[in-house]
């Protein structure tokens, strides 16, 4: 990848790493559905005017079923799963589990994206090592009983949805405007969240820190990063774009330790390392360019 693409990946990873402690703060006074609606609604305020100005939606919505299916899988469902799951697991652990997305992309690529398949022994080894990391996190670090296990499974299911959505974007909308895809994801998710969020709407304004967390979560860590992520998918493919997820857990752990004073255990660190190494190996591709 180019130097510009690597810089974009690091910035994207840092912003995504901040998502998990921000969700933790928001959940102190708001329900998961309200947090998701606030997140995507604020992102819409940023993205919709830009998308209309650049006429980024018209082409996509000529096939409404295709774009709705894609963004439900890549946005609506995983956002709900992640936010519900974070009620029961620490923010840093949630970030580590979501970092498994490139592993799922690699596995799904065997059936749905031949050009993104892991290469040879390194690719297979990467998948195995990555899943060993997940076992470490689940088997040793999630010791809060059934609720902690449930939360971990919900977050891991969110990672699987993100991976499936990335492959769907690459297959169905590689030539579409990234801004249009991002805006469509926020619009569909906002519409889907209106009724559920209304049932648990708070009866008073949340504290300033909660409001600030939702604001940053929506505008910066969702709206801006979605455009960047979809751009990377279109230009580099889902496996390479998903490399931002192997960096984001490290940022999630750092931000959670600094902002929430969460402790990083030895097993969590080992699991994180295994997932990162596994993702890197699984994402390697053979250079097919002519000599």
| 122 assigned to some structural domain | yes
Q: Residue range 189-203: average pLDDT?
A: 95
Model pLDDT for residues 17-66, shown as the tens digit of each residue:
999 999 999 999 999 999 999 999 999 998 999 899 989 898 889 889 99
Does residue 190 lie in a domain region?
Answer: yes
- Is residue 112's pLDDT more than 60? yes
Q: Sorting pLDDT into bands at 50, 70 and 90, what band is 68?
A: very high
Mean pLDDT score, 86-97: 90
Please indicate, yes or no, if residue 279 is contained in any of the structural domains: yes
How many structural domains are present in the chain? Answer: 1
Tell me, yes or no, whether 42 lies in a domain: yes
Name the residue range of residue 235's domain. Answer: 3-199+210-283
Residue at 33 is within a domain: yes
The answer to whether position 84 is within a domain reads yes
pLDDT band at 242 (very low <50, low <70, confident <90, very high): low
- pLDDT tens digits for 136-159? 887 666 666 788 889 999 999 999
Q: What is the pLDDT of residue 291?
A: 29
**For position 289, what pLDDT does the model report?**
34
Distance CA 17, CA 41 (A): 20
Q: What is the 3-state secondary structure (H, E, C) of the chain?
A: CCHHHHHHHHHHHHHHHCHHHHHHHHCCCCCHHHHHHHHHHHHHHHHHHHHHHCCCCCCHHHCHHHHHHHHHHHHHHHHHHHHHHCCCCCHHHHHHHHCCHHHHHHHHHHHHCHHHCCCHHHHHHHHHHHHHHHHHHHHHHCCCCHHHHHHHHHHHHHHHHHHHHHHHHHHHCCCCCHHHHHHHHHHHHHHHHHHHHHHCCCCCCCCHHHHHHHHHHHHHHHHHHHHHHHHHHHHHCHHHHCCHHHHHHHHHHHHHHHHCCCCCCHHHHHHHHHHHHHHHHHHCCCCCCCC
| Domain presence at residue 231 | yes
Q: Is residue 290 part of a domain?
A: no
Tokens of 77: 């469902």
pLDDT band at 238 (very low <50, low <70, confident <90, very high): low
């Amino acid at each position: 990848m180019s130097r510009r693409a690597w810089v974009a990946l690091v910035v994207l990873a840092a912003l995504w790493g901040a998502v998990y402690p921000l969700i933790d703060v928001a959940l102190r006074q708001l329900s998961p559905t309200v947090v998701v609606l606030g997140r995507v609604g604020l992102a819409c305020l940023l993205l919709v005017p830009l998308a209309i100005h650049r006429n980024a939606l018209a082409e996509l919505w000529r096939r409404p079923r295709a774009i709705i299916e894609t963004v439900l899988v890549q946005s609506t469902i995983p956002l709900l799963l992640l936010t519900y799951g974070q009620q029961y697991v620490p923010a840093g652990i949630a970030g580590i589990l979501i970092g498994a997305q490139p592993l799922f992309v690699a596995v799904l690529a065997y059936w749905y994206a031949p050009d993104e398949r892991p290469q040879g022994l390194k690719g297979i080894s990467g998948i195995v090592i990555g899943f060993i990391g997940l076992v470490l996190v689940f088997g040793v670090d999630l010791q809060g009983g059934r609720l902690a296990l449930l939360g971990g499974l919900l977050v891991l299911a969110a990672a699987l949805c993100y991976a499936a959505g990335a492959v769907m974007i690459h297959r169905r909308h590689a030539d579409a405007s990234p801004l249009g895809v991002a805006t469509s994801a926020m619009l569909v998710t906002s519409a889907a969240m209106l009724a559920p969020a209304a049932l648990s709407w708070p009866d008073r304004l949340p504290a300033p820190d909660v409001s600030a967390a939702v604001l940053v979560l929506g505008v910066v860590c969702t709206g801006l990063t979605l455009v960047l992520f979809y751009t990377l998918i279109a230009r580099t493919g889902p496996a390479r774009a998903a490399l931002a997820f192997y960096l984001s857990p490290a940022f999630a752990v750092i931000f959670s330790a600094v902002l929430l004073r969460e402790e990083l255990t030895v097993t969590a660190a080992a699991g994180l390392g295994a997932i990162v190494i596994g993702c890197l190996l699984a994402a390697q591709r053979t250079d097919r360019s002519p000599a």
